[in-house]
Amino acid sequence: MSETTLHQLCRLYTNLKAEDIAILEKVADTLPQYAELTGNYMYIDCLLQSGDHGIVVAEALPRTPDAAYKDRVLGKLVFEAFEPAVLLCHKTGRKSLKHRAITQEGKVVEQSVIPIYNDSHEVIGTLIMEADRSEESSAPNGGTLPIKSMDMGPFSDNPMVADLLMEIIFMTDDQQRLVYANPSGIKFLHEIQGERDWVNQPVGHVLPFLEGLLHHKEEVFISEVLAGQRVLEVKKVHMRTKRNELEGLLFIIQDLTELRLKEKELLKKSVVIKEIHHRVKNNLQTVASLLRLQMRKGLSVESKSHFEDTLHRVYSISAVYELILANEDADQDDVDVIELTSKIGSTMMLNDLDHQIEFRVVSNGYTLLASSRKAVSIALIVNELVQNSLKHAFPHQAGTICVEFKVKQEFIEMHISDDGKGMEGYTRSLGLDIVRNLIVNDLEGEFVYKQVKKGTHASIIFPIHDEILVHSVSVHNRVGD
- Look at strands 168-172 and 246-255 and give their pairing: antiparallel
d(CA 430, CA 167): 64
- Look at strands 220-227 and 230-240 and give their pairing: antiparallel
Residue 364 CB, nearest approach to ligand ATP (Å): 22
Residue whose CB is less far from ligand ATP, 333 or 384 = 384
Instruction: Give yes or no for residue 392 binding ligand ATP (CB under 6 A).
Output: yes
d(CA 287, CA 281): 10
d(CA 185, CA 162): 10
How many residues touch Mg ion under the rule CB under 5 A: the total is 2
Q: Where are the alpha helices (DSSP H) in 56-212?
A: 65-69, 84-92, 134-141, 183-193, 203-206
Which 411-470 positions form the footprint of ligand ATP (CB under 6 A)? 418, 420-421, 423, 426, 428-432, 456
d(CA 46, CA 123): 9
235 binds, among ligand ATP, Mg ion, none (CB under 5 to 8 A by kind): none
d(CA 55, CA 72): 13
Residue whose CB is less far from ligand ATP, 211 or 442 = 442
Which 302-331 positions form the footprint of ligand ATP (CB under 6 A)? 309
Instruction: Give yes or no for residue 14 binding Mg ion (CB under 5 A).
Output: no
**By the 8 A CB rule, do 389 and 414 touch?**
no
Q: Where are the alpha helices (DSSP H) in 158-256?
A: 183-193, 203-206
Instruction: Please provide the DSSP assignment of 276-332 as one string.
Output: HHHHHHHHHHHHHHHHHHHHHT---HHHHHHHHHHHHHHHHHHHHHHHHHH-S-TT-
Name every residue whose Cβ is closer than 8 Å to that of residue 124 and which is 6 or more positions away in sequence: 16, 20, 23, 24, 46, 116, 117, 118
Which 388-407 positions form the footprint of Mg ion (CB under 5 A)? 388
Which 428-457 positions form the footprint of Mg ion (CB under 5 A)? 431
Strand partners, 230: 227
Residue 430 CB, nearest approach to ligand ATP (Å): 4
Report the residue from 169, 253, 393, 414 that binds ligand ATP according to the rule CB under 6 A: 393
393 binds, among ligand ATP, Mg ion, none (CB under 5 to 8 A by kind): ligand ATP
48 binds, among ligand ATP, Mg ion, none (CB under 5 to 8 A by kind): none
d(CA 106, CA 161): 12
Backbone angles phi, psi at 222, to 5 degrees: -120, 135
Of 199-207, 346-354, 387-395, 396-404: span binding Mg ion (CB under 5 A): 387-395
Residue 475 CB, nearest approach to ligand ATP (Å): 31
Residue whose CB is less far from ligand ATP, 110 or 308 = 308
Of 60-68, 141-149, 272-280, 386-394: span binding Mg ion (CB under 5 A): 386-394
Residue whose CB is less far from Mg ion, 370 or 458 = 458
Residue 305 CB, nearest approach to ligand ATP (Å): 7
How many residues touch ligand ATP under the rule CB under 6 A: the total is 18
Residue whose CB is less far from Mg ion, 30 or 459 = 459
Name every residue whose Cβ is closer than 8 Å to that of residue 27 and which is 6 or more positions away in sequence: 44, 58, 116, 125, 127
280 binds, among ligand ATP, Mg ion, none (CB under 5 to 8 A by kind): none
Residue 363 CB, nearest approach to ligand ATP (Å): 22
Residue 261 CB, nearest approach to Mg ion (Å): 51
Question: Phi/psi class of residue 41: alpha, beta or left (left: φ > 0; alpha: ψ in -120 to 50)?
Answer: beta
Residue whose CB is less far from ligand ATP, 406 or 421 = 421
**By the 8 A CB rule, do 457 and 449 touch?**
yes
Name every residue whose Cβ is closer than 8 Å to that of residue 142 and which is 6 or more positions away in sequence: none
Of 3-11, 163-171, 249-257, 383-391: span binding Mg ion (CB under 5 A): 383-391
Residue whose CB is less far from ligand ATP, 6 or 435 = 435
Residue whose CB is less far from ligand ATP, 19 or 433 = 433
Name every residue whose Cβ is closer than 8 Å to that of residue 425 and which is 6 or more positions away in sequence: none
Residue whose CB is less far from ligand ATP, 266 or 430 = 430
Residue 431 CB, nearest approach to Mg ion (Å): 3
Contact set with ligand ATP (CB under 6 A): 309, 384, 388-389, 391-393, 418, 420-421, 423, 426, 428-432, 456
Given the rule CB under 5 A, which residues bind Mg ion? 388, 431
